[in-house]
Structure 1
Amino acid sequence: MMFFQILLEVIWILAVFGGQHWTYEGPHGQHHWSASYPECGSNAQSPINIQTDSVIFDPELPPLQPHGYEQPGTKPLELHNNGHTVQLSLPPTMYLEGLPQKYVAAQLHLHWGQKRSPRGSEHQINSQATAAELHIVHYDSDSYNSLSEAAQRPQGLAVLSILIEVGETKNPAYEHILSHLHEIRYKDQYTSVPPFNVRELLPPVLAHYFRYNGSLTTPPCYQSVLWTVFSRRAQISMDQLEKLQETLFSTEKEPSTLLVQNYRAPQPLNQRMVFASFIQAESLYTTGEMLSLGVGILAGCLCLLLAAYFIARKIRKKMSGNRKSVVFTSAQVTEA
């Protein structure tokens, strides 16, 4: 039994970290994953397109509390080009509270597009993708002994998703990773990164997020992930994005193939529900309804102003008439 468990873990590690051949496009691309990895064709896959007018507000969803993120130990962190993404190892001293179990961190990685393309994220919100996406992977350490064991169990994994857009300034936190990409240009190269404040990779507000049950977004696509997709975005500069898009290769040596467009297309939601930890204005009204509401409020204010103007004008006329009557009466009394 133990041998069988070890064999399963080896197969999972080989699949996820590139030992078995799969790609995002072509004959081994995502549209063919289910032929080799059947679970990739199941009905609770990730990523998804989050339609905010269909999410369900859940007041019981607490803010996430990351622990150990500010200082993940003193040992260097391992940065790896696995041919599919750039991956940073994380120590188990980093963990999350605010979830059903204690989930300890294992690794983080990125997804991105290609140069001059606005799309690079896996998750979308209202059919809008962003330039890139960060995933921080945790596993249920209360129930399982390892990431590979937890990855095959319902809600064995918890992944934080941070959508990344282009801003005007360089992001120092992301630079801790991006500045080392030139050291791992080819597949299966490793380098060491000094520990840094991982919390700064996340958006400043962690209380606003979407939650749903889904899967790994790469083979073997196990449906074991409790997803948290933050509504607030992180920002990197255009230079940082281009460094991500132009530095790494998915091959070990020449001829080299640039590592780009490593994102999976959104998968059908099917019967799953997406919950939100906050109330969104767009979930209450559509864009057309919001526009109509705004026009109605503006028209109402204008009507109130006009009514006030005419009332004031009428009062002034009445007061003016009263003054004339007083003067006329006073004049009559004087003449008498």
Structure 2
Amino acid sequence: MRTSRRDNITIRGSKALHLAVLRLTDVSLSIHVGPDGENTWPKKYPFCGGVFQSPIDFHKDILQYDSNLSPLEFIGYNVSSTDHFTLTNNGHSVKMHLSPTMHIRNLPFEYTASQLHLHWGNRNKSEGSEHTVSGKHFAAEFIKYCLLLRAEAQGPAQLLTICSLQIGPFNPSYEKIFRHFRNVKYKDQMVHIPGFNVQELLPDSPDEYYRYEGSLTTPPCYPSVLWTVFRHPVKISQEQASLKTTRVVLIDHVISFLPTSFSHLNERTENTGVIYSEKILTIGFTFQ
């Protein structure tokens, strides 16, 4: 039986940055998914039929408290407005390139920043998140992605952090990205946007998160990801969550497809569970 941190899924936050991708769910069937959707993936990509696949549903039956988890520290996230980020549209995604000097302390391994992307629901359903909590979808997901810094390290090759987005009041921090989408409406368009404190995009309690070892959610579905999913969502307005406000034309539906099926933890290992942190009265802070 495989032994890993995957056996204990956690609640606490972790992040990574570099590219930003906008994925949509209201797309036509693509070569990638075939007529039967993601059920056909294992035929060409064997890992997609494995037992450590993502996304998953976080529910009380699999949550376990892990006192070894530490609060995350976000280093290099406050970028001066005199610097800039770059948004690009490559035809299947909108990318926001960020500095690899951004990193997170108190992770089990050292990672370098790589990418940031967003998942939206379709025009008729505000259910854009891949992971769910007690079966509940969120309007969108904000994902940060990074790579293991040292090849000799024996940890998951990729670190992905998820911040769920919920409909609520207007969010000025997210608007620092959204308002520039109109300038990358078509393929190969690019725009520079002023630097800002990327930590503003996180929930108010980033020390509370779920963690588990899983996989990429689309082919090739490699089981090489350390997932950290923030326990509390961030709120954005209905207008901000609307696809109409993005004004982005994505022509490659292979990458923009958002899978809808979930992997069941009890089919993976006997001891798999989600570890969550709780606030405790001690030096420093853990989670809840």
TM-score by length of 1: 0.66
Q: 1:184 to 1:121 in 2, by over 3 A?
A: same
- Equivalent residue number for residue 11 of structure 2: none
2:119 corresponding residue in structure 1: 111
Following TM superposition, by how much is the alpha carbon of 1:244 offset from its aligned partner in structure 2, in angstroms? Answer: 6.2
Could you list the per-position Cα deviations for residues 84-127 of structure 1 after superposition, in whole angstroms to 9, with x for gaps in the alignment? 44332221110011111222211100111112313110110000
Tell me: CA distance 1:214–1:119, structure 2 relative to 1, closer, same or farther (3 Å): same
| Distance change (3 Å), C-alpha of 1:188 and 1:52 | farther
Alpha-carbon separation, structure 2, partners of 1:180 and 1:23: 31
Deviation at 1:190, TM superposition (A): 3.2
Q: Which is further off, 235-244 or 27-36?
A: 27-36
Is 1:209–1:278's contact at 8 Å kept on the other side of the alignment? no
- Pick from 87, 99, 104: which aligns with 1:96? 104
* SS at structure 2 position matched to 1:240: helix
* Contact 1:85–1:262, Cα closer than 8 Å, also in 2: no
Q: Deviations over 1:44-80 (max 9, x none)?
A: 1111111123211001111111111122795432223
Q: Distance in 1 between matches of 2:261 and 2:92?
A: 15
Is the Cα–Cα contact under 8 Å of residues 38 and 259 in structure 2 kept in the other structure?
A: no
Q: Secondary structure at the match of 1:78?
A: strand
Q: With a CA cutoff of 8 Å and minimum separation of 6, indicate the structure with the bigger relative contact order.
A: 2
Gap change, CA 1:40 and 1:46, over 3 Å in 2: same
Aligned residues between the structures: 250
- In structure 1, the partner of 2:85 is 77
Q: 2-side partners of 1:100 and 1:77: how far apart?
A: 28
Identity fraction in percent: 38
More helix as a share of residues: 1
The whole-number CA distance in structure 2 between the counterparts of 1:225 and 1:79 is: 25
| Secondary structure, counterpart of 2:273 in structure 1 | coil
Match for 1:65 among 73, 77, 91? 73
Give the match for residue 251 of structure 2. Answer: 251
Per the alignment, do residues 185 and 23 of structure 1 end up closer, same or farther by CA in structure 2, a change over 3 Å counting?
farther
Q: Is the 8 A contact 1:211 1:274 kept in 2?
A: yes
2:151 matched to 1:144? yes
The aligned residue for residue 167 of structure 1 is: 168
Q: Quote how far apart the aligned CAs of 1:138 are.
A: 1.5
Distance 2:250 2:31 in 1: 10
How large is the RMSD of aligned CA atoms in angstroms? 3.2
Higher strand proportion? 2
The residue number in structure 2 matching 1:320 is none
What is the alpha-carbon distance in structure 2 between the residues aligned to residue 35 and residue 78 of structure 1? 37
Out of 22, 41, 44, which is 1:36 matched to? 44
For residues 46 and 188 of structure 2, what CA distance do their matches in structure 1 show? 26
Deviation at 1:41, TM superposition (A): 1.9
Structure 2, gaps ≥5 residues long: 1-20, 23-28, 280-288
Structure 2 SS opposite 1:106: strand
Please say if residues 121 and 131 of structure 1, whose CA atoms lie closer than 8 Å, have aligned partners that are also in contact. Answer: yes
- Rate the CA distance shift 1:177–1:214 in 2: closer, same or farther, 3 A: same
Alpha-carbon separation, structure 2, partners of 1:159 and 1:105: 10
- 1:178 equivalent in alignment to 2:174: no
Please give the TM-score of this superposition, normalised by the length of structure 2. Answer: 0.76
**Alpha carbons of 1:26 and 1:249: their partners in 2 closer, same or farther (altered >3 Å)?**
farther
1:36 offset after TM fit, Å?
2.9
Corresponding position of 2:156: 155
Give CA-to-partner distance per residue, 1:121-154, whole Å, 9 cap, x none: 011000000000011002221x139xxxx9xx85
Q: Which moved more, 1:237-246 or 1:23-32?
A: 23-32
Query: Quick one: distance in 1 between partners of 2:130 and 2:30?
Result: 17
SS at match of 1:53: helix
Distance in 2 between the 1:72 and 1:24 partners?
40
Q: What amino acid is aligned across from residue 231 of structure 2 in structure 1?
A: S
Deviations 1:234-265, CA, capped at 9 Å, x for gaps:
1111110114676223217xxxx8x9763543
C-alpha deviations, 1:252-304, integer Å up to 9, x for none? 7xxxx8x976354322222233211227xxxxxxxxxxxxxxxxxxxxxxxxx
